[in-house]
Amino acid sequence: MLQKSNYTLLSDKELIDGLTAVPPNNRIHEYFFKEKCKHFLTYISTVLYNEADYNMLVGELYEFLSKDNWKILKMWEGKNGCSLNSYLASCSIHHFTSKAKTEKKRNNMEAIPSSPDIIEYLDHFTAEEECEMPPVWEAYRMLKQRDQVILRLLVIEEKDMMLAARDIWPYINSAREIHEVTQKHVQSTIAMAKHRALLALLNNLKKLTSN
């Protein structure tokens, strides 16, 4: 069996097999929920829930992904170059965003909770929310192509900066080839571009959520 430190070597398919195994592999579960999902759960905690308890979000993510015998995980097929991490980030952020919006809407309702009209409204609202694109992905689609590429590679797919550099460089510096500049210059330039992309995303998100 792989040691915990080597779980990063598992392919996406091997990771899914380990998560859905019977009986469950507890070490793979711990690696997956505490480390693999850490980046987008931290985003969810900070942006959607104002620094919510991380362990609480891990528990809810487990319930969400394990529902119907891990149906959501098993639906991933890796088509069109979509990594498991990118797929999970999209599904999870959509789930938590819809949940947060639904809870906010319910908390703001002034009608009597037991009213049949309220129940009908909530059912209708939930059905609509499941089909609605969450604000963060609307904000992402509003970005320039350069910023979308940078965030997709470095944030959503969590690729190493230098490994992704050749794919990113043409979007941020078309005047000089990447081999013509030092590694330090590449790192600082991409880091600055990533920072600007994140600021642009947050700005778009604020515009959408303030309406």
pLDDT at 170 over 80: yes
Helix, strand, coil % (nearest 5) of the chain? 80, 0, 20
pLDDT at 35 over 50: yes
Q: How far apart are CA 15 and CA 35, in angstroms?
A: 13
Q: Which residues of 64-97 are buried (b: 16+ CB within 10 A; e: fewer)?
A: ebbeeeeebbeebeeeeeebbbbbbbbbbbbbbb
pLDDT at 135 over 80: no
Tell me which DSSP letter residue 134 carries.
P
Q: How far apart are CA 57 and CA 62, in angstroms?
A: 8
Question: How distant is the alpha carbon of residue 9 from its chain centre?
Answer: 21
Residue 192: HSE in the Cβ half-sphere, 13 Å Cα cutoff: 9
Q: Which residues 6+ apart lie within 8 Å of 144 measured at CB?
A: 200
Please report, for the chain, the start and end positions of each structural domain, with discontinuous segments joined by +.
10-132, 145-210
Q: Which of 82, 126, 123, 83 is nearest to 101 (CA)?
A: 126
What is the pTM for the complete model shown?
A: 0.48
pLDDT band at 105 (very low <50, low <70, confident <90, very high): low
